Structure 1
Amino acid sequence: MIFHSKRKFKLWAYTVSHNSLLLRSYLQFPDEEGYSNETSYNIDMEFLFVEYIEVKSALDSISISIMEKEELSVDLKEKFDSFRGKIFEILSGKKKYYIIADSLIIGRNKWVREDRVFNHDLNLHHDEILVSIPH
């Protein structure tokens, strides 16, 4: 497992022209119910050069692993055989979802209206990189 969080994540944006997918656990503001230091920042998962997406639009408590094709069941091996990217398995609840992409960056930030999917030329920087899986 490369990452685990008990926070809620949403499919925030997908850009076809850049093949980039953003899953975000949005920050809470101090006047919101449930606010704490642990929810005072976004957690962004940026998948780059995405080839395949099979994920719900909202996920609770997630774990992410990188799967090797040899570890997959026969039906998933056949399903993913033609793809070249890394196979990211997302476990949420008791369900498994898959994203195939070349790379992944998971970072913390306090962006309110900014994200790299829509503002890719702004040279936005995360406050902290939690996970970086390069291509």
Structure 2
Amino acid sequence: MSDFDTKVLYIGQKPKVTRTAKTNAEINVLLQAARRVGAIVATNKKVTAGLNKAHQGPDHRRIANLDRENEVAPPAKIAPSVGKAISAARLECGLTQKEVAQKISEKPSVLQDYESGRAVPSDQILSKLERILAVKLRGSEIGKKLTPPGKKN
């Protein structure tokens, strides 16, 4: 059987094709027309209309509220007195920032941040600086000279 034999040819008017309405106004007009004719009309409302589960955007208000509730304070910077003690001890030893940074295996920018008070304190770096500069940088007596172990005053 060829494709020609299966085609239906309409002469005159085409059969009416049911069409789907796109807007609420069109839907209401079609429903009223069907009710006037006496047709049984049943409408079903979609439960999940407008919810595309595969593509849900973030709820920005909820996220913003969570951010405001859980504000985390920025980490404390090093005290200016520690930076001044580091700078004074370094100059007293006659060392440059670059030389001290090489001795503690850090970048010179890290030492600059410590001396200016912009750095977040690290116990490892502070202990290395205390050992190299022989100055106390933690605790209550910041800037006090440390005596090498074995020597007593």
Bin of the TM-score, shorter chain as denominator length: under 0.3
Is the radius of gyration larger for structure 1 or structure 2? 2
| TM-score, length basis structure 1 | 0.20
* Structure that is richer in strand per residue: 1
| TM-score, length basis structure 2 | 0.18
| Greater RCO, CA 8 A, separation 6+ | 1
